[in-house]
Amino acid sequence: MSVGWRADIEMIAALVRRAANELLRVPGAAIPGVLAPTIFFLGLTSVFGHLTLLPGFDSSSYQSFLIPISLMQGAGFTGAATGVNLARDIEQGWFDRLLVSPAPRSVLLAGLVISASLRSLIPAAVLLVVGFALGVSWPGVGGLVMAVVIVMGMGTLAALWGCALALKFRSQSAAPLMQAGMFVLILTTTAYAPLALLTGWLHTVAKYNPATQIVESARQGFVGGVSWGDTWPGLLALAALMAVLAAFALRGMRRTAY
């Protein structure tokens, strides 16, 4: 391993440690990312649970049908929070100090998104415990691995989106946009019901929204078996969205002067 690579990895590890320290020192910071998707999971299953009685609904348990959405929401909130934290660091001048370090901008970005990706496992763990306690079907090892991969991918995606916006607006007042972006991406899919049961504009949007493929990949283990045919479209959509948002975030990084 060359010295440059080692330094890059050390820098990423330092940024991940800093994010972890924040969690240890301000444990309350993780609460919104955990609480909001848990409340939505409990609330939406209570409110819309009888939708499973509709002909064509492909699951008899609304909890099992909805859990991947809540997992993705948790990752989305957590990832977006990384963007808000970056905006705070920009406002307070701490980010300027990072920019004058010899680390490449891509390494700084990697440190931020990797920490978000790991952090997104916290709401996922809580949601899975709550979900299994309330009767969510066991997805099998394959289904669980798939769900974890999607959660970490969504955490990364949301962090890239949040960082791109933080670098553009350089203010925490962009926080609602960071959260709303993920909210819209995840909920304009087959979040509430299978595609055949969606109505109006949402049916059309969900059909073409790449996040629908990601939702279906994460959902497959909870409502049936895991198959490669249901897995690869989700992974491909996730990779494509990550590539696009990474390009935007890197562009923002490169344009940021110190």
Partner 1 sequence: MSLAADLRVIWALGGRAVKQTMRRPQLFAPIIVFPTLLLAIQTGGAGRGVDLPGFPQVNGFLDFILAGAMIQSTLLAANSGGIALAVDIEMGFTDRLLAAPISRYAMVLGRLAGTAVLGAFSAIWFIVIGLIFGAQIDEGVPGAMVMIIFVTLSAVAFGGIGAAVALRTGKASVVQGLFPLVFVILFLSSAFFPANLMLEPAATVAQYNPISFIVEGVRDPVISSLSLNAFAKAIGSIALVGAISVGLSAFALRQRLRMGG
| Least Å from the CB of residue 138 to partner 1 | 21
Is the Cβ of residue 115 or residue 188 nearer to partner 1 in the bound state?
Answer: 188
Is the Cβ of residue 195 or residue 250 nearer to partner 1 in the bound state?
Answer: 195
Name every residue whose Cβ is closer than 8 Å to that of residue 257 and which is 6 or more positions away in sequence.
Answer: none
Is the Cβ of residue 102 or residue 200 nearer to partner 1 in the bound state?
Answer: 200
Are 153 and 146 in contact by the 8 Å Cβ rule? The answer is: no
Helix (H, G, I), strand (E, B) or coil at 60: coil
| Least Å from the CB of residue 63 to partner 1 | 10
- Ramachandran assignment for 56, one of left (phi > 0), alpha (psi -120 to 50 degrees), beta (any other): left
Binding-site ranges for partner 1 (CB under 8 A): 32, 35-36, 39-40, 42-51, 53-54, 173, 175-177, 180, 183-184, 187-188, 191-193, 197-203
**Local structure of residue 93 (DSSP, 8 states):** T
Helix (H, G, I), strand (E, B) or coil at 76: helix
Q: DSSP string covering 141-201, please?
A: HHHHHHHHHHHHHHHHHHHHHHHHHHHHH-SGGGHHHHHHHHHHHHHSSSSSS-GGG--HH
Are 70 and 127 in contact by the 8 Å Cβ rule? The answer is: yes
| Least Å from the CB of residue 227 to partner 1 | 25
| Least Å from the CB of residue 250 to partner 1 | 26
| Least Å from the CB of residue 220 to partner 1 | 20
Is the Cβ of residue 51 or residue 125 nearer to partner 1 in the bound state?
Answer: 51
Which position has the token pair 């059309």? 204
| Least Å from the CB of residue 54 to partner 1 | 6
Is the Cβ of residue 20 or residue 184 nearer to partner 1 in the bound state?
Answer: 184
Is the Cβ of residue 48 or residue 142 nearer to partner 1 in the bound state?
Answer: 48
